[in-house]
């Protein structure tokens, strides 16, 4: 009887020990899963900073087109997750030469708005595939170098006036939609390309005829308020903080 009691007591002790061990194993497994989950969901801090550079298209166009000179500085600043403030300032000089006139337009412009980045970056990268909107505004002047007086009488030679007419204080405002890409070249340098669709909101025109060209917008036509453009950008990212 004593042996049976001792045997039963021994079995109970073993079962208790096994139960305790099983509980310890379950606890360790749960802790391991929690640690693993913590590691998996932990995010690497991402860089927030100012990306600034130049629009290469204005430089290339200035080199290839004798009737155009321009320079544009572009930039963006990441404010939250996939949202970026964006801006551009520039200056342009354009010779508009047609059969009936020869004019020079000179002025500067600014564009400001934001971009939404639809690209899911790998850890530590800041590439963009974005859609954005801008509000643009330009101030400029137009010099009418020569012009031809319109007439229906073809007997005489065309009446060409070489007198200079200057129109100052002109302006134009427009809305702009952009689609673009910015990809890292090396270190913090990024190469970008974008397409632009624009619509004139308001403009101040010369007396006697309309605007021919608005800096930052492009050519202006009397029967169409829409315009288009493009850009090739080279920018450098200045990291400011991580989040």
35 and 118 fall within a common domain:
no
23 and 65 fall within a common domain:
no
Q: Which residues pair with 72 in a beta bridge?
A: 90
Average pLDDT of the chain, as a whole number: 81
Higher pLDDT, 8 or 44: 44
Closest by alpha carbon to 130, among 56, 194, 46, 216? Answer: 194
19 and 71 fall within a common domain:
no
Segment among 15-29, 126-140, 198-212 with least mean pLDDT:
15-29
Q: In the predicted model, what is the mean pLDDT of residues 90-96?
A: 95
Higher pLDDT, 240 or 113: 113
Rounded Cα–Cα distance for residues 174 and 143 (Å): 23
Higher pLDDT, 152 or 88: 88
Whole-model pTM: value is 0.75
Q: Please write the tens of the pLDDT for every residue from 167-205.
A: 999 999 999 999 999 999 988 999 999 999 999 999 998
Q: Is 226 exposed, middle or buried (0-12, 13-18, 19+ CB in 10 A)?
A: exposed
CATH number at residue 126: 2.40.160.20
| Domain that includes residue 11, residue range | 1-42
Other Cβ atoms closer than 10 A to 127: 16
35 and 54 fall within a common domain:
no
29 and 66 fall within a common domain:
no
CB-based contact 166:143 (threshold 8 Å): yes
Sequence-separated (6 or more) residues with CB below 8 Å from residue 150: 100
54 and 125 fall within a common domain:
yes
**pLDDT, position 43:** 63
Higher pLDDT, 243 or 170: 170
- The share of the chain scoring above pLDDT 70, in percent, equals 73
161 and 218 fall within a common domain:
yes
15 and 124 fall within a common domain:
no
3-state class (DSSP) for residue 187: coil
**pLDDT, position 14:** 42
3-state secondary structure 149-182: ECCCCCCCCCEEECCCEEEEEEEEEEEEEEEEEE
11 and 108 fall within a common domain:
no
108 and 157 fall within a common domain:
yes
Q: Domain tally for the chain?
A: 2
**Phi, psi of 126, rounded to the nearest 5 degrees:** -135, 40
31 and 95 fall within a common domain:
no
- pLDDT beyond 70 at 148: no
Q: Please write the tens of the pLDDT for every residue from 94-135.
A: 998 876 678 899 999 999 999 999 998 877 778 999 999 999
28 and 130 fall within a common domain:
no
């Amino acid at each position: 009887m004593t042996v049976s009691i001792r045997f039963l007591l021994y079995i109970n002790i073993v079962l208790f020990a096994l139960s305790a061990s099983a509980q310890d194993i379950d606890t360790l497994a749960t802790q391991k899963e929690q640690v693993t989950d913590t590691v998996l969901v932990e995010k690497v801090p991402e860089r927030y900073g100012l990306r600034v550079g130049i629009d290469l298209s204005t430089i290339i166009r200035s080199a290839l087109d004798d009737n155009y000179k321009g320079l544009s500085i572009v930039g963006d600043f990441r404010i939250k997750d996939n949202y970026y403030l964006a801006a551009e300032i520039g200056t342009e000089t354009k010779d508009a030469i047609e059969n009936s006139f020869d004019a020079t337009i000179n002025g500067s412009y600014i564009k400001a708005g934001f971009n939404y980045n639809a690209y899911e970056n790998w850890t530590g990268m800041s590439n963009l595939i974005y859609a954005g909107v801008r509000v643009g505004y330009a101030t400029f002047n137009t010099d009418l170098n020569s012009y031809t007086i319109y007439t229906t009488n073809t007997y005489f030679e065309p009446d060409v006036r070489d007198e200079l007419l200057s129109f100052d204080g002109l302006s134009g405002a427009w809305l702009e939609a952009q689609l673009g890409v910015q990809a890292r070249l090396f270190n913090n340098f990024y190469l970008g390309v974008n397409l632009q669709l624009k619509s004139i909101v308001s403009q101040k025109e010369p007396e006697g005829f309309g605007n021919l060209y608005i800096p930052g917008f492009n050519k202006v036509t009397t029967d169409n308020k829409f315009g288009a453009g493009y850009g090739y950008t080279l920018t450098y990212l200045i990291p400011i903080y991580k989040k």
